[in-house]
Structure 1
Amino acid sequence: MADINEVKVVRTSDIFNAADADVVIRSSDNLEFRLHKRNLEFTSGAFPPAETPVHSNETIQLTESAATLEILFQFVYPRQFPSLERLDFDSVMLLAEAGQKYEIFGLMNACQFQLRKFKHKHPDRILEFAAQHNHGDLVTQLVPILLHMPLTKLVKILPSHMYIPWSLYRESWLVQVMKSAAVLVPSHDCFPKEKTSAWSFFRKNLHDEIISDYLDILPGDSWDKLAAKYAHRQCCTSVIKAWRAELERIRDSMPPIELPSS
């Protein structure tokens, strides 16, 4: 059991240890940063030390870790900004949230750019962040990836000025889905006559697995279920692949969504 009288070891940053610092900030894991209030005032819009009188012997305790703050403070000095390329997604998200919290403008822009590289792996989390902080450009990047998201879920994430154009854009996509279903699934080799029971069964499965569950079209869940049923029929598999490719083509050819700034 740890000694209740044990003193936590406080370290000082190797990068931010200015002898003439007039602000001392401590991370959640006890690393101190000796900084200059003037730099915080000029580069931040909401950093607490920049808004309140601080004596040189006072320490400001923050909730962010040393790893996050070590990068964040490099964006408040006139120096080359650090690269975020090697950071994993969670680290970038922590930085992005801290940048928003303290309004470190250079960091905010860098994180938005970096988050785009994770949009295919973590679209839901990035959407929540972008919507919360009104980053329309970032939301626009996610629309083609998340067109399948149910409106009942989307309405809890997006503000109204984003939700309305998104839902209209989504409706336009679904109209194209239904049109393609009517013309892109012809009779084919194993079912040459459209009125045969076998062909009708194929069309019914196509409808049940795709049309009636169109929300899963883009992620591919419904396609995989349908393809599994007809894996033994090459011609059916070809039809499924062709239709899916056409829907992806339609999606990719749609003009970008236009979102108002507020």
Structure 2
Amino acid sequence: MSTNTASATVSQTDPMSTKEKAVVSRKFGPETGGDVVFRSSDNVSFHVHQKHLEVYAEGFPLAKHTTPSQNEIIPLSEKSSTLEHLFQFMLPQRPPELDGLDFEQLMALANASEKYVVYSAQSTCALYMRDFLTSHPEQILKYAATYHHNSVIYTLAPQLVMKPLTELANLLPHDVFVPWSIYRSNFHGLLSALGDACAISSTHPQQHKFQEVRWLRKIQQVKDEIKKDPTKLSQFRTLIYQADLAGEKVCECHCCNPFKEWVTKVCGDIGKMEDIKIIARKYLAEKYARG
């Protein structure tokens, strides 16, 4: 039977069906002296020290309440590739590097670390999730909300701020939902302020009034771009002044100073927008002060 990579060997003595030979993890084989034997969903056995389970984890079956024997095999629902990494977090050594895992593998490990309460793996997986924030934001938000990794949720806020609150009300913990709501309100306030540009006029003579139209068109384009990707709010000035696909740029002569001054004001307001982590700290401080 095949397993992931060359991380397992065949055992002739394992009490499995005679029709099927057991596969034993090379890193967690019987020669390690492990006194608890787990079997993955793809039939790979792992011999793990019960003392390590008791120190590094809280959720493994039979880890504390029984005296296991080598003839007793505890089935687990995770694949061997997941357990191979998970059990390494329960050794008195430096935890494994997870750079080689793709998103699905990392998520499987993260869920297992939460299920079996392996603290060092929990925090490490949450840290590595940041490598996939752009490609899998929705899945990571659900994971972080489920397991209360608030710092990961806060990191996602600038990217998912356009998400309707109705979709978050039953997902985010209350102490995160409130700061998120405030942050979202502040963001939408800035976005709405971009509509104020329609009241601006340049001092161009009538024959050059098309420059105003170009400015207003550009502002609307940037607003639409920010709606699609809210993280671009911090790039507002750059987006306004960069050339469009046709190579055209907004006029920056003195006649358009009212527009340029407005851009400077908007950038100042963007710079003053509080980070969601600051909002959360203030909210919690006020909450605990009220008792």
Which interval holds the TM-score relative to the shorter structure? 0.7 to 0.9
Q: Which of 1 and 2 has greater Rg?
A: 2
Task: Say if 1:154 and 1:211 are closer, same or farther in 2 by CA, change over 3 A.
Answer: farther
Cα distance in 1 for residues equivalent to 2:18 and 2:201? 78
Cα distance in 2 for residues equivalent to 1:88 and 1:252? 37
What are the equivalent positions in structure 2 for 1:120-135 lying under 5 Å apart?
120-135=134-149
Deviates more, 1:25-34 or 1:85-94: 85-94
**1:204 shift after superposition:** 8.5
Task: Say if 1:205 and 1:6 are closer, same or farther in 2 by CA, change over 3 A.
Answer: farther
Deviates more, 1:148-157 or 1:175-184: 175-184
Deviates more, 1:111-120 or 1:148-157: 148-157
Cα distance in 2 for residues equivalent to 1:120 and 1:156? 23
Greater relative contact order: 1 or 2 (C-alpha under 8 angstroms, separation 6 or more)? 1
Partner of 1:68: helix, strand, or coil?
A: helix
Partner of 2:139: helix, strand, or coil?
A: helix
TM-score by length of 2: 0.69
Are the equivalent residues in 2 in contact too, given 1:44–1:103 (CA < 8 A)? yes
Cα distance in 1 for residues equivalent to 2:268 and 2:73? 55
Task: Say if 1:142 and 1:187 are closer, same or farther in 2 by CA, change over 3 A.
Answer: same
Which of 43, 48, 57 lines up with 2:61 in the alignment?
A: 48
**2:23 counterpart of 1:11:** yes
**2:274 counterpart of 1:254:** yes
Tell me how many residue pairs correspond in the alignment.
246
Tell me the residue number matched to 1:163.
177
Point out where structure 1 has 5 or more consecutive residues left out of the alignment. 224-229
| 1:134-158 deviation line (CA, Å, top 9, x unaligned) | 1111111111111121212222421
TM-score by length of 1: 0.76
Point out where structure 2 has 5 or more consecutive residues left out of the alignment. 1-16, 237-243, 253-258
Task: Say if 1:36 and 1:232 are closer, same or farther in 2 by CA, change over 3 A.
Answer: closer
**1:214 shift after superposition:** 7.4
Task: Say if 1:231 and 1:184 are closer, same or farther in 2 by CA, change over 3 A.
Answer: farther
Task: Say if 1:212 and 1:91 are closer, same or farther in 2 by CA, change over 3 A.
Answer: closer
What are the equivalent positions in structure 2 for 1:1-262 lying under 5 Å apart?
7-19=19-31, 20-53=33-66, 54-183=68-197, 186-187=200-201, 215-216=227-228, 218=230, 231-232=245-246, 234-235=248-249, 250=270, 254-257=274-277, 258-259=279-280, 260=284
| 1:167-202 deviation line (CA, Å, top 9, x unaligned) | 11110111122224314985569x976xx8996798
Are the equivalent residues in 1 in contact too, given 2:28–2:34 (CA < 8 A)? no
Are the equivalent residues in 2 in contact too, given 1:147–1:218 (CA < 8 A)? yes
Partner of 2:74: helix, strand, or coil?
A: strand
Are the equivalent residues in 1 in contact too, given 2:211–2:250 (CA < 8 A)? no
2:178 aligned partner, one-letter code: I
**1:97 shift after superposition:** 0.5
Quote the sequence identity (%): 28
| 1:9-42 deviation line (CA, Å, top 9, x unaligned) | 3201111113433210001111100111111011
Deviates more, 1:31-40 or 1:160-169: 160-169
Deviates more, 1:122-131 or 1:175-184: 175-184
Are the equivalent residues in 2 in contact too, given 1:150–1:215 (CA < 8 A)? no
RMSD between superposed Cα atoms in Å: 4.0
2:274 aligned partner, one-letter code: M
Tell me the residue number matched to 2:9.
none
Cα distance in 1 for residues equivalent to 2:267 and 2:39? 53
Partner of 1:177: helix, strand, or coil?
A: helix
Partner of 1:46: helix, strand, or coil?
A: coil
Cα distance in 2 for residues equivalent to 1:216 and 1:146? 10
